Structure formats: C-alpha cells, structure tokens
Amino acid sequence: MKALLSVLCLILLVSVSEAITRPSLENFIGCLHHRTNTDNPITDAISVADNTTAFLSSYVSYTKNKRFLSPNYKKLLAIVAAKHVSHVQATVVCAKSNGIQIRMRSGGHDYEGLSYMSAVPFVILDMYNLRSITVDVPSKKAWVQAGATLGELYTKVTDASDTLAFPAGVCATVGAGGHISGGGYGNLMRKYGITVDHVVDAQLVDVNGKLLNRASMGEDLFWAIRGGGGGSFGVILSWKLNLVDVPKILTVFKVNKTLEQGGTDVLYKWQLVSTKFPEGLFVRAMPQVVNGTKRGEKTIAVVFYAQFLGRTDELMAIMNQNWPELGLKREDCQEMSWLNTTLFWADYPEGTPTSILLDRPSTPGDFFKAKSDYVKKPIPKEGMKKLWKTMLKFNNVVWMQWNPYGGVMDRIPSTATAFPHRKGNLFKIQYYMTWVDANGTEASLNMMKEFYEAAEPYVSSNPREAFFNYRDIDIGSNPSGVTNVNEALIYGSKYFLGNLKRLMQVKAKYDPDNFFKNEQSIPPVRVM
C-alpha cells in the first residue's frame, strides 16, 4: 500500500458541487428527447422520481435488499429503463452534461445498493429491458445483454443444446451485466474457471456515449471490465461468451452434518480434500444455525452441496476413496440434467418446473448483510468452534458458504483478467445474515461485524481479501460524490490486489474526469 502511494504522481480528491444544488430534471429529460429519435422513443422508458405507485414499483422491482427499499427522493431524479442502445447513450451524455451522477443497475443484486442509491443528485439507468440472448451452437458462443438474468441465459443455452452450459452463479435472478463484470463464479469454477474467463467480446457505452466493442475499446479496457466491475468504466450493454461442455447427465447430492454428528471433523477434512478432488467435482460447505434436538436449543449444521460432471458410480468411488468421513450413500445422490441442477442449487422442491428460472420477482427479498473472505490454509478445529460459538450467539438467520478452489483456478494467472483471486486459495467464504424488521438493522450490522472479526485470525491478511461481487461497504468507501485515492486504495487493494494499479491507469485513460463513480469505484490515477 505504501509503495503504491509513493509512486502516485497525483492524489485525486474530486468533489461534486452538484451535491449543493439540485440539477434541472427538465433539462435532463429535454436532452434525452433531443438525443433519441422517434424510431426508438424514450418517453416510455423514463420514470420521474415521485411517490406514485408506478414509480415505486419500478424502483422496488429490482431492489433485492430491503435495507434500501425507500428511494432517496431528495437525490434520485428519475429511472431510465432503457429499451434501446440509444437510450443508454443518451442517458450517459445527458447526465454528464447536466451534472447528474449515474448509477447502473442490471439485476439489482448489488449487496450495498450502490447501483441504485446515492447521496448526490442522480439517475438510475436500469438495464432490465435489454435482455436479448442469442446462442450459436456450432461455435459454442452466446451474446447476452446486461439485463438478462442468469436463469434466462441458462434456459436459452439449454434450449439450444443439452450439452452446453455457462460457468456462472446459482442465483437465477442475478443480472448478467453486473455478475459477469465483477467476476461472478459458480459450481463449474474448478473445471472451467469463472465468468470473465469466458468473455471474448463486449459492448460498452463509454463516458462520451460511444458504443464500443473489444476491437474499438482496446485490450486494456477489455481487460479491466472482466473482473474490475463495469461501473467504473462505462455501461456494459452485452457480453459475448464462450460456452462450455457438460454431460447430458450430472450427479448432485446434499448431506447435512450437525455438530453432534461430527460436523466439525467432517468439515475439517473437507478443507484438506475439496481442492484436490477431480476438477469436475465441486462441493460447497454451508455452516448454518439450525434448531437442535431439544426444544429451544440451537446447533450448527454443515450442509454439503455437491455437483459432479458424471454419474453416481464414479462419484461414489471418488468419495469413498477421498472423503469417507462424509458417509455418502447412493440414495443421497440424484442424477439430472445441467439445467435441473440449477433448481437443486436454489433449493427448489423436487419436480419444480425449469420455467421458474424465467421468473423475475417484483418484490424485494430480506433485510440482509453479507461479507466475504479468502482462506489460504485450513482453519483449525479450535477456530471453527470459535466461529460456531459466535454464530450461536445471534438470534438472526446466519450462515456461511465455503466455496472450494483448486482445479483450473490454480492455473489461471492472477493478471489474466482484472479478477485477481486465483492460485493460493483453498476456498472463498461468504458470510450472510438476514433479519425481518428495519428496527433490527443496526444491531444486525454490529453482529455481522463481530462475526467477521471472529474469523480474522484464520483468513487472508495484508490485505484481508474480499470478493467484489459480495460488495461490502465496511472494508472502505468514499462518499457518493467524492473519490479520495487514499480511501480507494484501501478497498481497492482488497478487491483487486496487485491489479489495482493497472485498473487505476485504465480508468485515468478512459474516464479521466471520473464521471462513472460510486462509493467503491476505481479512481483515475496515473501511476509512474
């Protein structure tokens, strides 16, 4: 950190004077009409921020965290739900010329609401109408627009071929724009890596409203948007993806082990073997608080979710040889198509039709807070018991996901894309806590901090790494209208490690005036 600071030839502190005076909404909307044409009218795409039911519905539909359910009417001017690329271009140009900040939202799963909240005058550019997907089976390629959900992408790919897939996340309602740009991952990561490892082209609207592809944007910007987040560099319109091969039949299982059933010992062994399994086997461990056998008693259950690119017989042989402690039985295993595995991972009941993957919820989920960590060496049993003790103190719903590394993730260089967390990791942790009432927010956030502190001795350090797509404002942030480089170095080094320096230089080249910014954006700084 100090070394990087010493070579900075510029310390940037950009304030937004517009925070003092509310820009003219009338001028902004007039500009939108001027910059679009009647062939693709923008009128129906604009929702002025007011407290009408229609506007609130537009805002809430893609607000997944109830903590951010109420729009900031003092600062939010409008939502532009773009229906054509010209609407995206006009929104960028008109927001910039009128001193209005822009926030881009594709699926609304931004954990801290930074894609639709701001403390300075802003508009939301909502991408959910831009959701076309085209699949070309002979070339094993697909184009997907930013507002398409993973569920829509998976369905479209399977409709075209039952032996092709895309290695992305397990939540069907996540938008492709943000998920891919932040380095989204899923249960194919040990075999095929993550989303950004399969992006071969992209369309992006830059700070001047120009539509660029890989050839016209250049390799440095193309590198940055694959894992550095799109929100600092422009508006991602679409991605061109390499699809990957999967068998027609895969095997999955879900096995629970409570503490009383030796869950701690089984999970300790998981840490030793999960990264060494064949690459086609991915086993996620989820420690969570559950009811105990006695009334009013609670315990920890570790739920092991697995997916194997093959049949049950082969999987059983692998498990019996490498991890007999789990006690896997044939009847625990289910064979199914790749598309059906997405329902399994989402915990849908058996027999749920795959059409549910196309649903777009119109109401938010829970109040929640999430955090992340990377683990380099096995957490000792004493450390695990310390985590269990902390979890059992809370009345909230609380769980962790331990996602194994190994396989191809150990072979892709950390500089291949902007996503840096590669070799040297045993697993990634997601911490997650939910609650039901806004009155519980402050106490719940404090609980989560306590939980995170309890894990500190057992995870990566200097820096304590974090996953960009599990956005966490606690690890460092700037105010909405300010980008202080010193602060950006704090959160940026955790999200991007050694790639931060290059990301800042790309930002300085393509958005030198720092128009695209949020509380955790990348600062435009040239490094000597």
CB 208 within 8 A of CB 513: no
Residue with tokens 């498990």: 319
d(CA 107, CA 262): 39
CB 361 within 8 A of CB 173: yes
CB 258 within 8 A of CB 301: yes
- Annotated catalytic residue within 432, 470, 495, 510: 470
Q: Where are the domains positioned within the chain?
A: 25-126, 133-245, 250-335+365-456, 479-527
d(CA 117, CA 480): 9
Write down the pLDDT at residue 9: 39
Q: Into which CATH architecture does domain 25-126 fall?
A: 2-Layer Sandwich (3.30)
Q: DSSP for 250-262?
A: EEEEEEEEEGGGT
Provide, for the chain, the percentages of residues in helix, strand and coil under a 3-state DSSP scheme, each rounded to the nearest 5. 35, 20, 40
d(CA 128, CA 47): 14
Q: DSSP for 428-443?
A: EEEEEEEES-GGGHHH
pLDDT digits (tens, 9 = 90+) for 203-220: 999 999 999 999 999 999
User: Does 348 qualify as catalytic in the annotation?
Assistant: no
CB 502 within 8 A of CB 459: no
Checking if the pLDDT of 20 tops 70, the result is no
Q: Into which CATH architecture does domain 250-335+365-456 fall?
A: 3-Layer(aba) Sandwich (3.40)
Checking if the pLDDT of 14 tops 60, the result is no
Q: Which among 112, 243, 234, 117 is positioned nearest to 177, based on CA atoms?
A: 234
Q: What is the mean pLDDT of the chain?
A: 94
Checking if the pLDDT of 461 tops 90, the result is yes
CB 525 within 8 A of CB 12: yes
Q: For residue 387, what are the CA distances in angstroms to 223, 395, 442, 455, 508?
A: 37, 15, 21, 7, 42
Q: Could you give the percent of the chain with pLDDT greater than 70?
A: 95
CB 326 within 8 A of CB 274: no
pLDDT digits (tens, 9 = 90+) for 98-133: 999 999 999 999 999 999 999 999 999 999 999 999
CB 230 within 8 A of CB 347: no
Write down the pLDDT at residue 51: 87
Binning pLDDT at 50, 70 and 90, where does residue 10 land? very low
d(CA 353, CA 151): 12
CB 484 within 8 A of CB 517: no
Per DSSP, what are the bridge partners of residue 150? none
pLDDT digits (tens, 9 = 90+) for 271-280: 999 999 999 9
Per DSSP, what are the bridge partners of residue 133? 144
pLDDT digits (tens, 9 = 90+) for 374-432: 999 999 999 999 999 999 999 899 999 999 999 999 999 999 999 999 999 999 999 99
Write down the pLDDT at residue 142: 98
Write down the pLDDT at residue 215: 98
Write down the pLDDT at residue 96: 97
d(CA 252, CA 240): 29
Q: How far apart are the first and last CA of the chain?
A: 15
| Phi-psi label, residue 435: left if phi above 0, alpha if psi -120 to 50, beta otherwise | beta
| Phi-psi label, residue 322: left if phi above 0, alpha if psi -120 to 50, beta otherwise | alpha
> Residue 221 carries which side chain, given as an amino acid letter?
L
Mean pLDDT of 292-303: 93
311 CB-contact burial (10 Å; exposed 0-12 / middle 13-18 / buried 19+): middle
Q: Report the helix count and the strand count for the chain, using DSSP H and E.
A: 16, 20
Checking if the pLDDT of 253 tops 90, the result is yes
d(CA 194, CA 178): 14
Per DSSP, what are the bridge partners of residue 212? 204
d(CA 312, CA 317): 9
448 CB-contact burial (10 Å; exposed 0-12 / middle 13-18 / buried 19+): buried
- In this structure, the number of other CB atoms found within 10 A of the CB of residue 303 comes to 19
Residue with tokens 């006009």: 90
Binning pLDDT at 50, 70 and 90, where does residue 361 land? confident
Write down the pLDDT at residue 22: 63
CB 173 within 8 A of CB 151: yes
Among positive and negative, which fits the CA dihedral 228, 229, 231, 233?
positive
3-state class of 247 per DSSP? coil
d(CA 372, CA 287): 14
d(CA 211, CA 93): 12
Tell the CATH topology of 133-245: 3.30.465
